[in-house]
Structure 1
Amino acid sequence: MSRKKRLWLPDHFYHVVSRGNRRDPLFQDDRDFRAFFYNMKELSEKSPFEISSYCFMTNHYHLQIRSPEVQLSQIMSRLNKGYANYYNTRYNLCGHVFEKRFHAEPISNPYGNFVVSHYIHMNPVRANMVESPEDYPWSSYRYFQSSKLKASLKNIPFFTPKANLELFKGSRENYVTAFQALNDNRKVLDNPKNPNSRRKFYFTANIPYLANQREGAISDMQMKIGNHIYF
């Protein structure tokens, strides 16, 4: 049975998740994290793509990625295949390193980009690996806080945080303020006694810069995308 083709929107960012086979570790030490990062950099030089947030966990990774020139499925296939070759060689293994097809969800607007970025950056905190997202070395959150952002970007040509700063007129400080406020709202939403705790989208009424954005985020995606390509 053939696989159902996915929607490819070249001008949209996607939230992509890829996991280790049987949820086994993908990264066993810092060398593995660095190898994956190097693999991304090498691939981006051959097939350009943009990443506005990322987080590499132990047995999976998250990307907020846009591929305007090459179909996203091709980018992901090359990325995972390149790392799988490295991983199997290093650990003297054979067979699949990654599980079934990667998950990819298109993001429809700037508010959605920000919420996905928040979700990605909070992964290590939710997994009780660190207390704050800035403490985790293998995510992009530190670049939104660091005063050395421009210098860092020279070494990461595919990293383009602009999409996540669009709501905030390019201000990293406003991004961090909204990020922290969203954390406070999540504490309320995640309370089991809160009848709204299972809602898919976060409340934004009390969050700076986001009060008027939520409606656009939950609108029907198909009403906005127009012509599209499947992959």
Structure 2
Amino acid sequence: MARAKRHYIPGQVWHLTHRCHKRDFLLKLKMDRRNWVQWLYAAKKRYGLVILNYCVTSNHIHLLVQDAGKRDVIPRSLQLIAGRTGEEYNMRKKRKGAFGEDRYHSTAVETEQHLLRCLVYIDCKMVRAGVVAHPSEWPFCGYNEIQMPKRKSVLIDYQKLAKLTGFASYSTFRETHKELVNESVTNRTFGRQPGWSESVAVGSRSFVETIHSKFGFRGKGRKVLKHDIGFQLREKHRTYNVEYDGRNEDIGSINTSEWDVNFE
């Protein structure tokens, strides 16, 4: 059955969260997290997905991307990554059934300072979970590549990341990024901030109100609220908990993606 049509707002930076089917720990093994990252690279090569950061946990993922103007790139990419990772997992485990939940949650993030804060939030995901002491110790996230850019098998769009965060050069961005992550780890300011994965949009009041207006009639019931991380466009219902590594954390509103795209 085709999925319901979803509203598409072009040209935005999106923080995506997608959980494993029924909150199962289907990504608990290194080989499966590694496969997910490899298929992320394949999505970049195949569809032109613009990747800014990512983190793979035991039962859900975080992905920060920029829409490049083609409405089907992001949903097709998520379909490819989850689908192929799931196929390989099911074949190895002799398992049947879906690997990922039917839908993912998407949050529009304003560029520059809000984007920089979202980057740090994603980087510190597994520190927050108590799995590692520093993001550099978790190989299934974008932190190490951001700090030590690759020449081959590049995932992160370095120059676009620097530009979108408001820096004139990548080296300046990289130093600032490193300082902010270290500061967050040292001062333990990496606590859970649900707005990054439960809101429809995060940023300044003008940014959030603009996103709200672009939803048109689909914006009904969504409220612009002020929170610690900035203004947010929120829904009052449809949140869920995600379990991982002995902890519980909300990561989004029932995987609701606002994309006007149909695909099988």
TM-score by length of 1: 0.75
Per-residue deviation, 1:134: 1.2
Deviates more, 1:221-230 or 1:20-29: 221-230
1:5 partner SS: coil
List per-residue Cα deviations over 1:93-136 (Å, max 9, x = no partner).
00111124111111122222211111111110011000111111
Is structure 2 residue 141 aligned with structure 1 residue 139? yes
Per-residue deviation, 1:181: 3.6
Per-residue deviation, 1:178: 2.9
Is structure 2 residue 160 aligned with structure 1 residue 159? no
1:26 and 1:52 mapped to 2: Cα distance? 24
Structure 1 residues 32-111: aligned runs within 5 Å = 32-68=32-68, 69-71=70-72, 72-111=74-113
Q: CA RMSD in A?
A: 3.1
1:220 and 1:47 mapped to 2: Cα distance? 28
Which structure 2 segments of 5+ residues have no match?
197-201, 216-258
Tell me the equivalent position of 1:5: 6
Letter in 2 for 1:154: K
Letter in 1 for 2:123: H
2:204 and 2:186 mapped to 1: Cα distance? 20
Letter in 2 for 1:128: G
2:206 partner SS: coil
2:5 and 2:186 mapped to 1: Cα distance? 39
Higher strand content, 1 or 2: 2
List per-residue Cα deviations over 1:114-159 (Å, max 9, x = no partner).
111111111100110001111111111112333xx2xx24212x42
Identity of aligned residues (%): 20
Per-residue deviation, 1:177: 1.6
Instruction: Tell whether the 8 Å contact from 1:48 to 1:67 is kept in structure 2 after alignment.
Output: no
- Find the partner of 1:130 among 129, 132, 142: 132
Tell me the equivalent position of 2:236: none
Aligned length: 204
1:61 and 1:27 mapped to 2: Cα distance? 9
Name the CA shift for 1:225/1:57 in 2 (closer, same or farther; >3 Å). Answer: same
